[in-house]
Structure 1
């Protein structure tokens, strides 16, 4: 080997050698796993919780490494002191089994950003009796804070930490934030737990003061999730309660059906990380007002709507940040869950009898439908429809008079029917059709010819 080649080899070794050695060592080590807890183990370990931490990075996305602050001094540690850190905290585990979703969420985060992912494993303290688990959550937060304190000594800054807590894990994250006086960079609550927390003091649950920015996704606020806002921005999906696609007939087990709404927050958040489509919330006082089309823009945020995902402050640019701002959005039943908000406006002539119409918006491969009950004391109807495709791709609108034969209006005169998409940065004009007569049993339809702008 010539002197020049030896010099090149030495340079490559100095730059890459350490990483290669660490990678080899990491592969030789057995991959760390989250715990499972049997009833016997629960009785044995509940007193000391047995909290452990797992580390995943882009260098070991499939093989977790056990993590503790002492490992920061070891050459075999894959933790990067110069990268942000995502901390995942699972919630209650009724059966004591390890949360299977943690690895998928970790890998989705690593695909989106080059970060350290630290998973908090507190399965022993999170299992079986919910009321006893709630007694444990603050102790888990204290143990996490000890780890964070030690990491600060090695140069990790509080503002670079982003805690992502599922269910009860969101309140664990909130209490960590309380212990650090709100200096943690960000906390994201995925359907924060509701039982025993809805009436709790802000000191005992997640709230906006726990981090520099707190966002929360609500999907089961009538059962396992909390119904009140707990962040700077709170996304209420489909009103925060019943989620599309969570019908009993879709699940082979009752357990899968029961937790479907609750787990939807996780699945939507995970889907948002791939950036395939925006999940944008619209500020409004209530879900009912939102569905009536009375909240169509994001002027409260200076026109920039908050978005689920990793955008800084959910994309909000206003200062100071809002607190406990409810935003609403509709979703589809399957990943990536994105739906376009279509405002449907129907103006009809006065009716002698009540009536019912079905409005169908159709594209080449899909469609959406909405039923409207028309009364004798009203002529203008507005409602928001979730449509999987953008307004500019809607080919056909169909209206059917679906009323009963003897008790409903036989013919309906529609002065105008208009559809428009919101929120829209370009303020597109609505699509309207005027002067329509719809008889019972004879659907009316109209084809649109339009092309979406491509930017």
Structure 2
């Protein structure tokens, strides 16, 4: 959409919404906490032509009891909004059953734990429920209404556009993107948590989240084969476990397909909250593809001057380069449960030439925790590499075990391993890999080696 058309639409809505959108923003005088809405199918059928938006405010002064909010609330004695602090805007996405999102308070509190900010929650459940194709028709109107609020906070109360950070979940990411489009990319930051894919993958960049929507745009992808988008939409795009099929999400025939997909889709949100809680750092490695990443073809962050991007609130995700490259794919592996952090271990196996194909099982052990990988060895190759997710750092690996697991009749019985090495990504020039050399592995006779290590303080 040309900016002239956007400006006209924005001006019309500015007049319209001063009475419509913000009418719900009375500050509670009775001390009651504001709540997100639910809607039912009957209500939806009656009101689906109307998009209602309300705003809730949470701060460190009221982290458990939201206030209804609008631009007229600012400056009132009962309002906790502080114009000198940054403002986080949470935007939910599609709700299949019309239920209010249960995760909003957890995300708001994680944000407040990480930074002293105003957290504004956008509640548009009436326009976000039941029929996905109709919800997609509503998202730009919601974005326009949010833009009115942001514009009034900027014009009347001195809030700077760069102090706004919009965090959109699923379809909410594209709502945030259109808000950024209306402000010509001058919003400080937009974070997309598994931005919605259906009806957006082939859309024009003006109709979906893209790097021009804010000064910095980051996105986390966890379900790019179903509900999430598979293409990069930000300056940096974190693809967790390749962006699909998250560890810990049930895939058995007894689990519902919907539950399995939703688990993948919502993993971006849960990983983001874990990163905000600061238990451990979730960093990734830039690479052209997930396959190249797993093969150990990408081992450092030199494209970012050695600083690997991290999920969370660090400025520009911790990237030091300027200007920030656009649409950089960042890959990382996670564990199956919170806090989801894993150490990326590069495992390299070199064997002498083989007469037959073979299989070797490699296990890295720390205390009672083990990480296992099976190499399929071929006669035409001698060097094999893979990247593994291990729960602790390289210096805490206690032992390594190799086992020839090939079938007796048609696999090689004896394998000579020239070397097996483990190192931690990103590779650093001053850190040598752990290697064991000259090993003979016979079928049915496991081989193991204990490491004696002390972790450094740096």
Residues 96-107 of structure 1 correspond to what in structure 2 (within 5 A)? 96-107=98-109
**Aligned partner of residue 120 in structure 2, secondary structure:** strand
Q: Which of 254, 268, 276 is 2:279 aligned to?
A: 276
State the partner residue of 1:402: 405
Aligned pair in 2 of structure 1 residues 278, 426: CA closer, same or farther (>3 Å)? Answer: farther
Aligned equivalents of 2:309 and 2:361: distance in 1?
A: 32
Q: Which of 206, 211, 234 is 1:208 aligned to?
A: 211
**Aligned partner of residue 239 in structure 2, secondary structure:** strand
State how many pairs are aligned.
431
Q: Deviations over 1:217-258 (max 9, x none)?
A: 001111100000000000011111111111235986554322
* 8 A Cα contact 2:226 2:261, kept in partner: no
**Structure 2 residue 143 is matched with structure 1 residue 134:** no
Structure 1 outlier segments of 4+, above 6 Å: none
Q: Which of 241, 251, 254 is 2:244 aligned to?
A: 241
TM-score in terms of structure 1 length: 0.93
* 8 A Cα contact 1:391 1:420, kept in partner: yes
**Aligned partner of residue 105 in structure 2, secondary structure:** helix
State the partner residue of 2:188: 185
Which structure 2 segments of 5+ residues have no match? 1-26
* 8 A Cα contact 1:399 1:445, kept in partner: yes
Shift of 1:44: 2.2
Aligned pair in 2 of structure 1 residues 110, 426: CA closer, same or farther (>3 Å)? Answer: farther
Q: Which of 368, 377, 399 is 2:380 aligned to?
A: 377
Q: Which of 60, 63, 77 is 1:61 aligned to?
A: 63
Which structure 1 segments of 5+ residues have no match? 1-24
**Aligned partner of residue 288 in structure 1, secondary structure:** helix
TM-score in terms of structure 2 length: 0.92
Aligned equivalents of 1:60 and 1:251: distance in 2?
A: 42
Aligned equivalents of 1:414 and 1:93: distance in 2?
A: 54
**Aligned partner of residue 273 in structure 1, secondary structure:** helix
State the partner residue of 1:38: 40
State the partner residue of 1:6: none
Q: Deviations over 1:272-300 (max 9, x none)?
A: 00212111111111111111111000000
Aligned equivalents of 1:213 and 1:26: distance in 2?
A: 35
Aligned equivalents of 1:368 and 1:183: distance in 2?
A: 45
* 8 A Cα contact 2:223 2:261, kept in partner: no
Aligned equivalents of 2:430 and 2:263: distance in 1?
A: 36
Q: Deviations over 1:177-236 (max 9, x none)?
A: 000000000000000000000000000000000000000000111110000000000001
State the partner residue of 1:49: 51
* 8 A Cα contact 1:251 1:257, kept in partner: no
**Structure 2 residue 398 is matched with structure 1 residue 429:** no
Residues 136-215 of structure 1 correspond to what in structure 2 (within 5 A)? 136-152=138-154, 153-215=156-218
Aligned equivalents of 1:258 and 1:27: distance in 2?
A: 42
State the partner residue of 1:390: 393
Aligned equivalents of 2:189 and 2:101: distance in 1?
A: 23
State the partner residue of 1:16: none
